[in-house]
Amino acid sequence: MAEPRQTSTDVVVDIIWRLAAERESFTSDDIRPLLPSGIGPRSIPAAVGKARRDGIVEEVDRVKSVIPERKGSLVPVLRRPGSHLANSDPDSTSGSALGTAGSLTGLASEIVALKDHLNKTGYVCGVEEVATFLLLAASRNWVILSGPSGTGKSSLVRRVAEALDGVFHDIQVKPNWVSSEDSLGYFSEVSQTFVPGVILNALQSAQSDPDRLHFVRLDEMNLASPEYYLAEVLSGGESWQLDELGRPQSDVIQLPPAPLGVSRPQVRIHNNVFMIGTVNVDETTRALSPKVLDRSAVFDLHHVDLFASPAPLEPNNAPEPPALPHIRGLLADRPHSLTALGASNDEIESAALLLSPLGEVGGILGGPIGYRQRDALVTMLALGTRHGLTDVLSPDTILDIGLRSIVLPKWQGSTPASRAALRHALAVLLDIDVPDDASTDSLQAKARLSRFPRSCEKVLAMIHQFNSLGYFSAW
């Protein structure tokens, strides 16, 4: 059988792969001189997007182009991530850089397969997005998806649930929700019964169906204040114990009151339930409180590849999801304490070494670092190592994602002290001294090569915001 013909995008992806092997970082301008005859620069943006989605490179910055005809436009700065996806020889995959999954096994291979499946269903995403979502879902009680409207936050949950043959519960949060009676249920004076709410119905469904994964999506969860309509659910998820079959379950969720003698269900959050909220930040939404952020991981879906084209769907022939036993194993392994996790001393030390010098900074910026944050990063690192996720997310990448999604979302400020704290945080992440007169451009250049580029990017964005507006927040 003849080998499939390479497209121009495939050829440029191979060039990107070789550049990543040779250089610490490079821009899309560096690709232009290497283009073979017959392939123009219009192929570069699509190839850069594909290389990022395939995990061959990561985008760590944007700078002004040095090409005269593109003067002033922004181009991506790319570098090779510390994962095995970027270490394969493209010549070993039939002359194309597209066969990355062939060199992987176990969970890493399934994540690439799931990414490819989602792309075939019309959902454009990358390996890192899929791996990050799964790791956060396994390690945290709540995952909050943020990012600009139209980036696929809501679709991601539904499509992953479908690929895993899970149950998808779609809950549309209403702006007039002011208490748990709006979400968990209420006593009806008319019927003299307790009427369950939409969240209670979802939890009951999962409780009666323990062998399937249940994904509960609260769409636009900050249209109302979550600490009001979710207070009992947030509190219930604080304590966990094993049921008679050895499966983790939360404390009983306290339901709104009803007269004595009125029957109310007894419901817990079970280990097969994944609570996921989507948020938009605009004048119609509420700020998330520290109580909510303390118990959540915030995953910012900010990558938008306008050159990506999803695979065409065949009529009446939806693609069959791949078998994903290792992903199911990761999602079933949800330790709710360090004791249950069994983390190594090295994993605890790695998280502590990162967080310890940031402790004072967190206090100044309104996001103190305590055991909850430390344990979350340790859990992510331990699960990543235990399940082989480090083939697609290196240990440093996992810590970087944990820092950005669990620690930074609470940071905000408007004083000179808070600005100084931000610069100190950047110095910690870059592992250098940052003088007061250091320009953000020089710091940005160092951030591209740091161990934690995602967190550096966020801190630099907050510094820029303070310089422009006199205040900053992680949102």
- Which pLDDT band holds residue 314 (cuts at 50, 70, 90)? low
Q: How far is CA 175 from CA 134, 172, 197, 223, 337, in A?
A: 29, 10, 16, 5, 34
**pLDDT tens for each residue of 417-436:** 999 999 999 999 999 887 77
Count CB neighbours of 2 within 10 A.
Answer: 4
Tell me what pLDDT residue 330 has: 97
Is residue 422 within 8 A of residue 157, CB to CB? The reply is: no
Pick the more confident residue, 447 or 34.
34
**What are the boundaries of each domain within the chain?**
8-98, 120-300, 335-473
In sequence order, what are the residues at sequence separation of 6 or more whose Cβ sits closer than 8 angstroms to the Cβ of residue 252?
Answer: 236, 266, 267, 268
Note the CATH architecture for domain 120-300: 3-Layer(aba) Sandwich (3.40)
| Mean pLDDT, the chain, whole residue set | 89
Tell me, what's the pLDDT at 245? 86
Percent of the chain scoring above 90 in pLDDT: 67
Average pLDDT rounded to a whole number, residues 178-182: 95
Phi, psi of 120 (to 5 degrees): -70, -30
* Residue given tokens 């304590």 in the structure block: 239
What is the rounded average pLDDT of the residues 151-161?
Answer: 92
CA distance linking residue 63 with residue 66, whole number of Å: 9
Q: How far apart are CA 472 and CA 142, in angstroms?
A: 25
Check: CB of residue 59 under 8 Å from CB of residue 126.
Answer: no
pLDDT of residue 117: 94
- Over residues 153-158, mean pLDDT: 93
Band (97; pLDDT cuts 50, 70, 90): very low
Q: Are 121 and 318 in contact (CB under 8 A)?
A: yes
Across 176-193, average pLDDT: 95
pLDDT > 70 in the chain, percent = 93
Q: Which of 342, 347, 355 is nearest to 390 (CA)?
A: 347
Residue 96: pLDDT over 50: no
CATH architecture of 8-98: Orthogonal Bundle (1.10)
Between 48 and 309, residue with greater pLDDT: 48
How far apart, in whole angstroms, are the C-alpha atoms of residue 216 and residue 470?
38
pLDDT of 243-283, one tens digit each? 888 899 999 999 999 999 999 999 999 999 999 999 998 88
Is residue 5 predicted with pLDDT exceeding 90? no
The pLDDT, as a whole number, for residue 325 is 97
Confidence tier at 98 by pLDDT (50, 70, 90): very low
Write the secondary structure of the chain as one string of H (helix), E (strand) and C (coil).
Answer: CCCCCCCHHHHHHHHHHHHHHHCCCEEHHHHHHHCCCCCCCCHHHHHHHHHHHCCCCEEEEEEECCCHHHCCCEEEEEECCCCHHHCCCHHHCCCCCCCHHHHCCHHHHHHHHHHHHHHHCCCCCCHHHHHHHHHHHHHCCEEEEECCCCCCHHHHHHHHHHHCCCEEEEEECCCCCCCCCCCCEEEECCCCEEEECHHHHHHHHHHCCCCCCEEEEEECHHHCCHHHHCHHHHHHCCCEEECCCCCEEEEECCCCCCCCCCCCCCCEEECCEEEEEECCCCCCCCCCCHHHHHCEEEEECCCCCCCCCCCCCCCCCCCCCCCCHHHHHHHHCCCCCHHHHCCCHHHHHHHHHHHHHHHHHHHHCCCCCCHHHHHHHHHHHHHHHHCCHHHCCCHHHHHHHHHHHHHHHHCEECCHHHHHHHHHHHHHHHCCCCCCCCCHHHHHHHHCCCCCHHHHHHHHHHHHHHHHHCCEECC
Query: Of the candidates 155, 130, 103, 147, which has an alpha carbon nearest to the alpha carbon of residue 331?
Result: 130
Lowest-confidence pick of 341-345, 442-446, 470-474: 442-446
pLDDT band at 126 (very low <50, low <70, confident <90, very high): very high
Q: Cβ contacts of residue 134 below 8 Å, gap of 6+?
A: 111, 160, 327, 330, 331
- pLDDT of 311 > 90? The answer is no
pLDDT at 313: 63
pLDDT of residue 2: 46
Please state, in angstroms and rounded to a whole number, the distance separating the CA atoms of residues 190 and 188.
5
